[in-house]
Amino acid sequence: MNNGIRLLNQAMASTAGLRLLVVGMTALADLLFYRQPSGWPLGVYLLLAGLLLAMRPAPDGRRRALFPVLLVLSVATGAVVYRGGALAPLLAASALVLLVGARAEPGLRHAEDWARAATCVPDRMLRAHLRDRRLLRRRRGASRRAAGSMARAVLAWTIPVVLAAVFLWLFCLANPVIERGVGQVLDAFVKFLKWLRLPEILRVLFWLAVASGLWGVWRVRSERIRRGPTPPPLPVAPAPPESRPLLALRCLGLFNVLFAVETATDLVYLWGGRALPGGMTYAAYAHRGAYPLLATALLSAAITLFFFRPANAANRLVAARALVVAWLAQNVLLTVSAAWRLHLYVDVYTLTQLRVAAFIWMGLVAFGLLSIGWRIVRGRDNRWLLDVNAIVLFAVLLACAWWPMEGFIARHNVRCCREAGGAGPSLDIDYLKKLGPEAIPALSDFCRRDVAKSEFARQAAIDLTNQLRKSLENPRAWTWRRLRLLQNAEETGP
């Protein structure tokens, strides 16, 4: 095993070995992905590319930074193998980009360092291609001399081959046996050309894109740490004018009053259950406020970060800190109120993928507001704030990549629909079909209730099961979750 890894490292360290590896990975990509359904191979392919990249030589200090990225890549790959989807491959590809940046950039400690390294990856890949092109031009001198000698050798054989072809043509005219033999050889050659069909232009472009991407990823060089003389200290910026803290106090005072009015209104009508003004329903009240309140919370977070930068004098004012903590608390309550509005709207109507994403986004916004308040109270810097929120964001996205959201939506809509005795509208079977195979268990449960629309639901479950069975005939479309859905559907029936 160790000898194999050592040989692989030596092959990747040499240009010729890397070329062979790129050709092999491109052929594997053509076999697995070209005009094929997406499934487990995509995640395994990205994980293999990441492991091969991690094996390439790199400074020891940067190898330690590869382990957390490899962990994220492994978790995302597991999500691809488990249930597929679009989010898990996107996270795996992002982890591969971060892996390239971690090998190239030294000293990645904070989220902004990782973001900078990731944004520089396309530029580094382009520079790797240009660098190899310059090296190829330097070698063209020797290649031209070799090509000249080869051309002379070909020219030396041209006249004998042409004369031999003329004599063969004359023999064919004179001897029918030779004519038949030459004809059979030519027919076999034509059949071989028909069998060896030239690839279509899209396939060639696919090969070039995969090979170019792999070559650029694996040829990105690690930047050396240049230890030059210590630069002179930067001049100290002048202190902000005294009007800046007063401006923060005035803004925060007005904001607290306005938010208090909005919070009181929600407490009376939304949480207290008081009757709304004439002509307005709770569904309309909830729908109008969910997304604008979320935008308000995001704007509040941006304003807070502007006024309470680490070097700002507003951080030293006790009154300003108290006002901003109160304002952030009202923003958190506002975000919770927006989530509750959306919950009421979903109860009246239905649950969709966009609304589930809105719930998750509201939770992330609430956490971001709380972390901003903690940063101000504890005197942390913006790097700490960005690191914490980036870690939570990646954790939530990885969890969503594993979570079968479509099945949850289908079960909720079936449970709350009018036919099942819920408070929601009539079941939208067409939307459940758009959710894909994850909706099969919910449709089967709806059919067992023997209510209105059960025949339409049974036919939709049969159609989805047939589509799933047909897709799994191709091994490339296999995932563990799809296989379990098909097995359960065949065991229980619609």
Residue 150 placed within a domain: no
The encoded tokens of residue 241 equal 């004018």
Say yes or no: 252 and 317 in one domain.
yes
What pLDDT is attached to residue 399?
93
Say yes or no: 308 and 347 in one domain.
yes
**With 60 as the cut, is the pLDDT of residue 242 above it?**
no
What pLDDT is attached to residue 404?
92
**With 90 as the cut, is the pLDDT of residue 217 above it?**
no
- Kindly report, residue by residue over 459-480, the tens digit of the pLDDT: 999 999 999 999 888 888 888 9
**With 50 as the cut, is the pLDDT of residue 223 above it?**
yes
What pLDDT is attached to residue 139?
55
What pLDDT is attached to residue 174?
63
| pLDDT band at residue 392 using 50, 70 and 90 as cut-offs | very high
Domain boundary among 385, 402, 419: 402
Mean pLDDT of 71-86: 89
| Under 8 Å between Cβ of 437 and 464 | yes
| pLDDT band at residue 243 using 50, 70 and 90 as cut-offs | very low
Question: Which carries the bigger pLDDT value, residue 90 or residue 173?
Answer: 90
Mean pLDDT of 295-300: 74
Mean pLDDT of 155-174: 67
Q: How far apart are CA 302 and CA 309, in angstroms?
A: 11
Least confident interval from 80-84, 277-281, 352-356: 277-281
* The one-letter amino acid at 335: T
Does this model's pTM top 0.85? My answer is no
Question: What angle separates helix 121-138 from helix 111-119, to the nearest 10 degrees?
Answer: 40
Question: Which carries the bigger pLDDT value, residue 408 or residue 194?
Answer: 408
Residues above pLDDT 90, as percent of the chain: 8
**With 60 as the cut, is the pLDDT of residue 236 above it?**
no
Mean pLDDT of 354-379: 85
Question: Which carries the bigger pLDDT value, residue 157 or residue 164?
Answer: 164
- What value does the mean pLDDT of the chain take? 77
Question: Which carries the bigger pLDDT value, residue 440 or residue 204?
Answer: 440
Residue 415 placed within a domain: yes
Residue 205 placed within a domain: no
Mean pLDDT of 322-338: 82
**With 70 as the cut, is the pLDDT of residue 303 above it?**
yes
Say yes or no: 64 and 125 in one domain.
yes
What pLDDT is attached to residue 280?
63
Say yes or no: 376 and 413 in one domain.
no
Say yes or no: 261 and 387 in one domain.
yes
Say which residues have a Cβ less than 8 Å from residue 80's Cβ, sequence separation at least 6: 39, 40, 42, 43, 44, 46, 88, 89, 92, 401, 479
**With 90 as the cut, is the pLDDT of residue 398 above it?**
yes
Residue 214 placed within a domain: no
**With 50 as the cut, is the pLDDT of residue 230 above it?**
no
Say yes or no: 347 and 274 in one domain.
yes
For the chain, the distance separating the N- and C-terminal CA atoms, rounded to the nearest angstrom, is 49
Residues above pLDDT 70, as percent of the chain: 73
- Kindly report, residue by residue over 255-280, the tens digit of the pLDDT: 778 778 777 877 776 666 666 666 66
Question: Which carries the bigger pLDDT value, residue 213 or residue 293?
Answer: 213
What pLDDT is attached to residue 215?
81
Question: Which carries the bigger pLDDT value, residue 448 or residue 409?
Answer: 409
What pLDDT is attached to residue 144?
53
**With 60 as the cut, is the pLDDT of residue 228 above it?**
no
What pLDDT is attached to residue 125?
78
| pLDDT band at residue 489 using 50, 70 and 90 as cut-offs | confident
Structural domain of 306:
243-402
Residue 106 placed within a domain: yes
Say yes or no: 444 and 356 in one domain.
no
What pLDDT is attached to residue 247?
72
Say yes or no: 250 and 398 in one domain.
yes
What pLDDT is attached to residue 225?
44
Residue 352 placed within a domain: yes
Residue 227 placed within a domain: no
Say yes or no: 247 and 298 in one domain.
yes
Say yes or no: 396 and 262 in one domain.
yes
Residue 356 placed within a domain: yes
Domain boundary among 95, 117, 135: 135
Total domains in the fold of the chain? 3
| pLDDT band at residue 287 using 50, 70 and 90 as cut-offs | low
- Kindly report, residue by residue over 84-142, the tens digit of the pLDDT: 888 888 999 898 888 888 877 777 778 888 888 888 888 777 777 677 666 656 655 54
Say yes or no: 451 and 377 in one domain.
no
Q: How far apart are CA 89 and CA 86, in angstroms?
A: 6
What pLDDT is attached to residue 380?
80
Say yes or no: 77 and 125 in one domain.
yes
Domain boundary among 135, 151, 167: 135
What pLDDT is attached to residue 199?
64
